[in-house]
Amino acid sequence: MRKDLIDAYLAPLYSYFNGLIPLSSQEQELIAEKFRPRLYRKRQYIHQEGDVCTQLNFVIRGCLRMYKVDEKGNTHIIQFGSENKWINDLGSFHSKRISELNIDALEDTMVLQVGYDDLISMYVQAPKFDRIFRVLTENSYIAVQKRLLQNISSTAEQRYHYFLETYPELSYRLPQTQIASFLGITPEFLSRLRSQQSKKP
Amino acid sequence: MRKDLIDAYLAPLYSYFNGLIPLSSQEQELIAEKFRPRLYRKRQYIHQEGDVCTQLNFVIRGCLRMYKVDEKGNTHIIQFGSENKWINDLGSFHSKRISELNIDALEDTMVLQVGYDDLISMYVQAPKFDRIFRVLTENSYIAVQKRLLQNISSTAEQRYHYFLETYPELSYRLPQTQIASFLGITPEFLSRLRSQQSKKP
DNA sequence: ATCTAGATCAAGGGTATTTCTTGATGTAGT
DNA sequence: ACTACATCAAGAAATACCCTTGATCTAGAT
């Protein structure tokens, strides 16, 4: 891939990091060295259950989903990852254990990826990344906890409204099937929620 | 995957090899041990430029294409791989260098794959495979040379006719866009060739 | 100069695939 | 028995993909 193209893909990651903690130019270079852009096509797996998750993914454009398939074959979406979002199976990544989650692409999606060893060497070469990734993980943790809380304490309708407020953009961009799977309901039931919705606002 | 299913996938490869040089049952077992079936869905990458090609692909059913994307973003198809065909970036596979070619699926496609180390160990355990893969490579070489010759010496119309004769089955199975890209012309021009065609047979 | 082989751009139509909706019916918990 | 949801089936609607055609352009051969 051409160097200028790679730079174009890196720009969003630079500004993402700079938004957290300003980076020196050496640190930016380190990023350029360790992260690799990669295109995944709609439906393509980024990561499959049964494999160890060996890289972190930052989405440049497009949209991914992380999900688990249960014994009945139903898929439960844990998280979407669209522009400027991270989407990783941290459990598998850090424990180096086999993952039970899948990540695949809902649209053609460009991601930046770092492998485990490269990440470690970034920590060694520039400890600022320790702090950055600590913050990232904290944020992810908080988001997951919020979602947990919601799931155990709200009705499908409430969850749907929360989804609309939190991810307004995804709500018109993704198929309803995917949103239903994220909310933990059937597409049919979501369709009914929506039609009730439009009748009495 | 269930054992009987795997056997069903292996059968075409056995007969392919047997058609070249009869195999002993130990040799068949070796194949069963080293080759792995894998399903790719339409549009999925089997291999992407920028990666090292680490496995050889034998198509059981479906169709793949190997192509290069030029600086302008145009894709040039080098080869199709349908049932009982091999489709590999041998350059990258043997040199272990980064590949500039892509392989992706034009239809949902089942392939059998061997990794580099497994192939080597097949050569060691059963030297007959040296001969088999020598023959395979010779055949591929000859086919590529033929295609080269054609490309530098024929008009688009001649190439199209040759394509029709050589791959009659692909000609109605694949979209015209893909055939055009294989012939090195635009889909529009191919469309015109075809309509002239049907006017004066 | 102009003829040929082919490209590019824009628009229209067709068809297949995906997605959404609706009706009918079922079920577990309060 | 009422609420909040699931399941199954079947159409309808929306997209995406593919093909064709017309108009205009270009480079090389004659």
CATH number of A3-126: 2.60.120.10
Q: What is the pLDDT of residue B1?
A: 64
Q: Give me the long-range contacts of A181-187 (CB less than 8 A, separation at least 24).
A: A181/A67, A181/A75, A181/A76, A181/A77, A182/A65, A182/A77, A182/A80, A183/A156, A183/A159, A184/A76, A184/A151, A184/A156, A184/A159, A185/A156
Instruction: Compute the nearest-CA separation of A190 from chain B (Å).
Output: 28
- A127-141 pLDDT, tens digit per residue, is 999 999 999 999 999
Give the protein-side footprint of strand D (Cβ within 7 Å): A 72, 74, 155-157, 184-186, 188-189; B 175-177, 187-188, 190-192, 194-195
- A95-108 pLDDT, tens digit per residue, is 999 999 999 999 99
Integer Cα distance of B111 and B91 in angstroms: 20
Cα-trace Rg, chain B:
18
Q: Give the domain ranges of chain A.
A: 3-126
The answer to whether the Cβ–Cβ distance between B43 and A38 falls below 8 Å is: no
- A162-198 pLDDT, tens digit per residue, is 999 999 999 999 999 999 999 999 999 999 999 988 7
Return the higher-pLDDT residue of B181 and A6: B181
Nucleotide at minimal C1' distance from the A185 CA: D5
Per CATH, which fold does B3-153 belong to? Jelly Rolls (2.60.120)
**DSSP, res B43:** T
Q: Which of B1, B39, B40, B41 to probe the A interface (max A CBs under 10 A)?
A: B41
Integer Cα distance of B119 and B86 in angstroms: 14
**Local structure of B187: helix, strand or coil:** helix
- B201: pLDDT strictly greater than 60: no
Among the listed ranges A142-151, B31-40, B175-184, which one has the minimum average pLDDT value?
Answer: A142-151
Protein-contacted positions of strand C (CB under 7 Å): 5-10, 18-24
Nearest CA in chain B to A37: B50
CA of residue A169 to C1' of nucleotide C26, angstroms? 35
- B6: pLDDT strictly greater than 80: no
User: pLDDT category, A81, cuts 50, 70, 90?
Assistant: very high
| Terminal Cα distance for chain A, rounded | 51
Residue among A1, A42, A43 whose CB faces B50 most closely: A1
Residue among B45, B50, B71 whose CB faces A44 most closely: B45
Average per-residue pLDDT in chain B? Answer: 92
Instruction: Compute the nearest-CA separation of A188 from chain B (Å).
Output: 26
- A200: pLDDT strictly greater than 90: no
Numbered residues of chain B with Cβ closer than 8 Å to any chain A Cβ: 41, 43-45, 48-50, 71, 104
Return the higher-pLDDT residue of B146 and B85: B85
- B153: pLDDT strictly greater than 90: no
User: pLDDT category, B133, cuts 50, 70, 90?
Assistant: very high
CA of residue B181 to C1' of nucleotide D26, angstroms? 21
Instruction: Compute the nearest-CA separation of A38 from chain B (Å).
Output: 9
H-assigned helices in chain A: 3-20, 25-34, 90-95, 116-125, 128-153, 156-166, 168-173, 176-183, 187-199
Portion of chain A with pLDDT greater than 90, in percent? 84
Among the listed ranges A30-34, B19-23, B71-75, which one has the minimum average pLDDT value?
Answer: B71-75
Instruction: Compute the nearest-CA separation of B18 from chain A (Å).
Output: 34
Integer Cα distance of B107 and A128 in angstroms: 46
Q: Which of A35, A39, A46, A111 to probe the B interface (max B CBs under 10 A)?
A: A39
Return the higher-pLDDT residue of A3 and B142: B142
CA of residue B100 to C1' of nucleotide C7, angstroms? 25
Q: Which residues of B touch A1 (CB under 8 A)?
A: 49-50
- B90: pLDDT strictly greater than 80: yes
Integer Cα distance of A105 and A98 in angstroms: 21
Nearest to A162 by CA among A175, A173, A149: A149
